[in-house]
A and B are shown apart, each in its own frame.
Chain A
Amino acid sequence: MLGAPAFLHPTRAGAHEPAPATHPATAAAADAAIAASPLPGLARFAELAVSQATDAGATYADARLVRWRSDHVAVRDDHVSKLSSEDEIGIGVRVLVDGGWGFAATHSVDAPSVRAATKRAVSAAKRAGALRAATGAGPVTLAAAPAAKGQWVSPHAVDPFTQSVGDKAALLLDATKAVLGVAGVAHARASVAVVGEDKLLVTSDGTHIHQVFYRLMPQLSATAVDRRRGGFASANHEAAPMLGGWDYVTGLGLADAGVGVGQLAVQKLGAASVTPGVKSVVLAPSNLWLTIHESIGHPTELDRAMGLEADYAGTSFLRPQDAGQLQLGAERVTLMADRTQPGGLATTAWDDEGVASQRWPIVERGKFVGWQTTRDQAAWVGEPSSRGCAYGQRYRGVQFQRMPNISLQPGSEGYTTEDLINATEDGIYVTGRGSWSIDQQRYNFQFSGQSFWEIKRGRLTRPLKDVAYQANTVEFWKSCDMLGGEGTYRLGGSFHDGKGQPGQSNAVSHGCPPARFSANIVNTAGTR
């Protein structure tokens, strides 16, 4: 079922998309990815685990075979500093016995090892089930999901693993050469990480699916140093990590962008230090995506709201009963969860429980309306089925609720970034990702950025530095009074969203137009 999910949504038609994200997976490229996979040849071990578990009394069982490949090439100034490649395979077995979960994983994909892992998972599940019963907790229950069968390969034109590490290094060295050509730049770094996630899921519900994903994260940075006065400043290229092919990286034109990155670092060195106070902030998509992630993405995870992350990641300012009730933002604010979004790092055809990917509202006209759920969570909020948010990192991470792509929808007025700036009397235009921090219930946050421009009477007047904006989540989103139009929409994202114990990492994207808010500006220069 290659390319089966409907990728383009009407509200997104005409929006600027990263070029490769909309590139259709050619049948040949997808067929090649599936044909090259070793996992179908190992599927019998996943089937063995599931049948052994059900024979042992499991009411549900799944087995995930995962091959994880990654290339990481990094250059520093004029030479390669790291060139590495990873390729591992393993199997994770999850079982539900006597109402409790058990999980075991092994890197040895052979019958004795898989049998032993399954036995351990069943044993642990029975113990968990007994402990749940002893504490008065009911059994884990799963929302129904139709059996899924098929294959899916993430859209790409050029398989990134077909490019030699030497070619990848050469592309990066061209970029750092351009950065170093800027007067005042002392150091340059560039890197590209490429991940190939290949997974085959078999469940006791009859699901048998095979998916291959390619994700890419290019980075380019410059550091300007004032040795005489002892100051320094760094700037990063704002390229987003993306689900795509190697063509995404070549399409970025890193060498052409290098001069701008170098100039930004030098400019930051001499920029004026910001005057703190409450101001308007116009946030570019390259900055706002992370604010969406932290202030909307995490608090709408149902496991957090129910207290399951209380010992680590934290809980949420949202309660289950707030769905459909709480006005979280201004009426112009609508955020959609979307695991079908082109280029989205969390885009998939099915999640790691075999639930088909979906698009649904999280915030609609400012009101909080939707949760992120898995099969064992849907009933907690009275929903008949999962939203398809289960993910386990590699073979050794147990599936649990992870964030889908969640994106702020563009405004209907068709504003450009310039329109937002022109309409601002006193504010700061912020681009790029900087420091970020938010509390454990997602009320109080503070974000920085890459570049900051003072706005006075509708014009960008001078570059600033030492800027961070601080706000309360609900007050911030209620203050949103301008949104860019469809033509300004961009995707940002993260390769490494951490959650869970033991910690797991998930890749996720967030799209948005530029938007204007009110926030408390703080000066981040030293506090001595």
Chain B
Amino acid sequence: MKLTKTEMTKLARRVLAQASVGDLRVQIDARQQGNTRFANGRPTTGGDVDQVTIAVTAAQGASTATATGNATDDAGLAALVQRAEAMAALSPENPEHMPPLGKTAHDKVKARDPAVAKMTAVERDAAVGKALGAAAKAGVEVAGFVKHETRVVVAGDRAGLMAAHESTSVSMTTTCRTGAGGSARRGFTSHALAGLDGEALAAEAAQWAKRSNGPTAMDPGRYTVVLAPAAVAELLGFFVGAMGARAAAEGRSALSAADGATKVGQQLAAASVDLWSDPAHPAHPASPMTTGGEPHARTEWIRGGRLLALTASRYWADRAGVPARPKPSSIHLSAGGSGSLEALVGKVGKGILVTRFWYSRMLERRSLTVTGVTRDGTFAIENGKIGSSVKNFRYNDSPLNMLARIAASGTPVRTQGDRVTVVPPLVIEGFNFESVSDAV
């Protein structure tokens, strides 16, 4: 069975044909993945994986259940549908069960690059070989990962929904370490192969690893920081995760207001901040649909620093009288600025440059305070220049503070991660470092 929209849609129709209940839904997620991992100047593990997941949801009235499997033969599909229907019959009613979507329009998004779909171990190992060579030439240790994937997602139901989206993705990361306390990571991620350059990634990581040699400890406390896009994206992810309308209305969120209200309409961020989703962005395409078939439309979440919208399930949208908005497949942040990271550093007299955060975890939901550590290059900023390397910090701070305390910003770029995230480097005032870490 070929991994195409046509073949996977046929598979979805074969599932629906097995139904004996009126409300039967199918989701198919089929992928071909390949990867090579390397460390200590050599390839370590790798793999090529074909997988398919078929999820069937059956409902009898408000009693509903989902059965998932990966058999694609007729007997396997029939058994899967029977399992879902039998479970639904045993399930207590779910008053939040919503009727099937039926025929639904989605944006057309071109997110499949044939060059990625054709990739094998030959192409990825070539990129690895170049990265290993660049690191050896620079005299640093290197570790990294190359991954490519072709994916088809199909959602269908008996009320007329039959939607499919195909995409590719390719990414590479390289981490170089010097043995003198220096470490740096650089990465590439896109739906398209053009621009993947293992040699350039490793060479840049090697250069910055050397620059971060010999870190010295600075006292923890509040600093003006320049957050590189990777750091911005990590902290912003916690805000995106907290954008649920239901939790906000039920008083369980940092976006709750008193007496069952939410903070929609409030000025949450600096006046320069716009936050939006755009699955059809030509350079950074994302899925125009959820795996269940709900559309991802272009959505403005924050404009001019004011919170405009929250995510809402179909059930909550119906109950609260707000638009249904699934968790976004892409996030774009702008704070009105442009220019490189180094140009942004030039605007800061004294502060700290954070390349990356690591092991960030929710610490306190009421204020959306997050904890984590800096990693792979933390530097003092002195008189608008990147100065000496400093030891990593543990931070305890909130993305709400980050968005509210933006003093300047650069040009948005795509960052690593599953969700398409395009964010600029930011200058943040009064960022809270709690303690120092000896980690490299």
Interface flag for A84 (CB, 8 Å): yes
Identify which of A108, A226, A436, A444 gathers the most chain B CB atoms within 10 Å of its CB. A444
Q: Is the CB of A444 within 8 A of B439?
A: yes
Q: Which of B96, B361, B363, B435 has the most CB of A within 10 A?
A: B363
- Residues in B whose Cβ lies below 8 Å from that of A359: none
In the bound complex, do residue A131 and residue B42 qualify as a contact, i.e. CB atoms below 8 Å apart?
yes
Query: Scoring B residues 404 to 440 as 1 if CB is less than 8 Å from chain A, else 0, what string do you get?
Result: 0000000000000000000000000000101111111
Per-position binary interface string of chain A over residues 99-136, scored 1 when its CB falls under 8 Å from any chain B CB and 0 otherwise: 01111111110000100010011011001100110111
User: Is B35 at the interface (CB under 8 A from chain A)?
Assistant: yes
Nearest-neighbor residue (CB-CB) of A473 within chain B: B438
CA distance A131 to B122 in the complex (A): 11
Q: Smallest CB–CB gap between A211 and chain B, Å?
A: 21
Which one of A9-17, A200-208, A308-316 contacts B? A308-316
Give A107 Cβ to nearest chain B Cβ, in Å: 4
Binary per-residue interface labels of chain A (373-409) against chain B in the complex, 1 for a CB within 8 Å, 0 otherwise = 0000000000000000000000010101000000000
Among B145, B367, B371, contact of A526 (Cβ-Cβ < 8 Å): B367
Could you tell me the distance in whole angstroms from the C-beta of B93 to the nearest C-beta in chain A? Answer: 7
Which residues of the partner chain A approach B36 to less than 8 Å between Cβ atoms?
Answer: 124, 128
* Docked CA distance A106–B94 (Å): 36
From A170, which residue of chain B is reached at the shortest CB distance? B92
Determine if A166 and B92 form an interchain contact, defined as CB atoms under 8 angstroms apart. Answer: yes
The total of interchain contacts (Cβ-Cβ below 8 angstroms) comes to: 284
- Docked-complex contact B363 and A501, CB < 8 angstroms: no
> Is the CB–CB distance between B437 and A104 below 8 Å?
no
A251 at interface, CB cutoff 8 A: no
With A105-B50, A124-B121 in contact, is A225–B250 under 8 Å at CB?
yes
Interface centre among A79, A85, A104, A121, by most chain B C-beta atoms within 10 angstroms, is: A85
Chain A residue contacts of B67, Cβ below 8 A? 84-87
Sample of 6 further A-B pairs with CB below 8 A, known A124-B47, A230-B257: A117-B48, A165-B87, A166-B92, A230-B251, A311-B143, A524-B363
Residues of chain A lying within 8 A (CB to CB) of residue B39: 306-311
Complex contact B87–A85 (CB within 8 A) = yes
A 439-494 contacts with B by CB, 8 A = 439-444, 446, 448, 466, 468, 470, 472
Can you name 9 A-B pairs with beta carbons within 8 Å? Answer: A83-B66, A103-B48, A104-B48, A107-B50, A113-B50, A120-B48, A227-B259, A472-B438, A527-B396
CB-nearest residue of chain B relative to A441? B439
Contacts of B47 in A (CB 8 A): 102-105, 121, 124, 396, 398
Q: Which stretch of B7-15, B160-168, B170-178, B283-291 is in the interface? A: B170-178
Q: Which residue of A lies closest to B50 (CB)?
A: A106
Q: Which A residues are in CB contact (< 8 Å) with B260?
A: 227
Question: Which residues of A are at the interface with B, using a C-beta cutoff of 8 A?
Answer: 79-90, 100-108, 113, 117, 120-121, 123-124, 127-128, 131-132, 134-137, 164-166, 169-170, 173, 186-187, 223, 225-232, 234, 306-312, 314-315, 317, 396, 398, 400, 435-444, 446, 448, 466, 468, 470, 472, 501-502, 520, 522, 524-528
From A79, A100, A437, contact of B360 by CB (8 A): A437
Partner of A137, one of B42, B53, B122, B147: B42
Residue of A nearest to B358 (CB): A440
> Once the chains bind, are B129 and A134 in contact (CB under 8 Å)?
yes
A243 and B64 CA atoms in complex are apart in Å by 29
Cross-interface CB contact of A100 among B43, B65, B69, cutoff 8 Å: B43
Q: Which residues of B contact A446 (CB under 8 A)?
A: 363, 371, 394, 396, 434
Q: Which of B173, B366, B375 contacts A232 (CB 8 A)?
A: B366
Contact A101 B375 (CB under 8 A): no
Complexed CA–CA distance, A173 and B95 (Å): 14
Question: Which of A106, A164, A470, A501 has the largest number of chain B CB atoms within 10 A?
Answer: A501
Is B71 among interface residues, defined by CB-CB distance under 8 A? yes
Q: What residues of chain A lie closer than 8 Å to B251, measured between beta carbons? A: 186, 225-227, 230, 232
Interface residues of B in 49-106 (CB under 8 A from A): 49-53, 55, 64-72, 83, 87-88, 90-96
Given A79-B95, A166-B90, verify A437-B70 contact (CB < 8 Å). Answer: no
Nearest-CB distance from B265 to chain A (Å)? 16
A contact face: mostly helix, strand, loop, or mixed: mixed
A187-B250 CB under 8 A given contacts A104-B48, A107-B50? yes
Q: Are B364 and A526 in contact (CB under 8 A)?
A: yes
8 Å CB contact of A132 from B42, B48, B174: B42
**Interfacial chain B residues near A229, Cβ < 8 Å:** 258
Q: Say yes or no: B93 contacts A526, CB within 8 Å.
A: no
| Contacting pair B435 A527 (CB below 8 A) | no
CA distance A437 to B360 in the complex (A): 7
Are A439's CB and B91's CB within 8 A?
no
Contact B48 A526 (CB under 8 A): no
Q: How far is the CA of A523 from the CA of B365 in the complex (A)?
A: 14
Top 10 closest A-B pairs, CB basis?
A526-B367, A444-B437, A137-B42, A441-B439, A166-B90, A439-B439, A310-B143, A103-B47, A225-B251, A84-B66
A107 CB contact (under 8 Å) in B52, B66, B132, B250: B52
Most buried by A among B46, B55, B87, B372: B46
Are A444 and B373 in contact, with the CB atoms below 8 A?
A: yes
A88 B53 Cβ-Cβ under 8 A: yes
Q: Are the C-beta atoms of B68 and A79 separated by less than 8 Å?
A: no
The reply to whether B364 and A525 form a contact with Cβ atoms under 8 Å apart is yes
- Judged by a CB distance under 8 angstroms, whether B141 is at the interface is yes
Tell me, in angstroms, the Cα distance from A82 to B315 when the chains sit together: 14
Give the residues in chain B near A307, CB-CB below 8 Å. Answer: 39-40, 141, 143, 177
Cross-interface CB contact of B439 among A105, A108, A309, A314, cutoff 8 Å: A314
Residues in chain B near residue A398, CB distance under 8 A: 45-47
Q: Is the CB of A79 within 8 A of B92?
A: yes
Please determine whether A128 and B46 come into contact, CB atoms closer than 8 angstroms: yes
Point out the residues of chain A lying under 8 angstroms from B55, CB to CB: 84
Is A86 a contact partner of B43 (Cβ separation < 8 A)? no
Q: Which residues of A contact B371 (CB under 8 A)?
A: 435, 437, 446, 468, 524
- Does B41 have its Cβ within 8 Å of any Cβ on chain A? yes
State A520–B434 Cα separation when bound (angstroms).
11
B158 contacts the other chain (CB 8 A):
no
Pick from B91, B375, B436: contact of A169, CB below 8 A: B91
With a cutoff of 8 Å between Cβ atoms, the chain B residues found around residue A226 in the complex are: 251
Q: Is B128 an interface residue (CB 8 A)?
A: yes
Give the most central of A134, A437, A443, A520: most B CB within 10 Å: A437
Knowing A84-B68, A165-B87, A165-B91 are in contact, say whether A306-B40 is a contact too (CB < 8 A): yes
Task: Give chain B residues whose Cβ lies under 8 Å from the Cβ of A501.
Answer: 35, 37, 145, 147
| B-side contacts of A124, CB under 8 Å | 36, 46-48, 121
Rounded to whole Å, the gap between the CB of B89 and the closest CB of chain A is 9
Q: A89-B70, A127-B122 are in contact. Are A502 and B147 (CB under 8 A)?
A: yes
A176–B252 Cα gap in the complex (Å)?
17
- In B362-404, the 8 Å CB interface with A consists of 362-367, 369, 371-373, 375, 392, 394, 396-398, 400-401
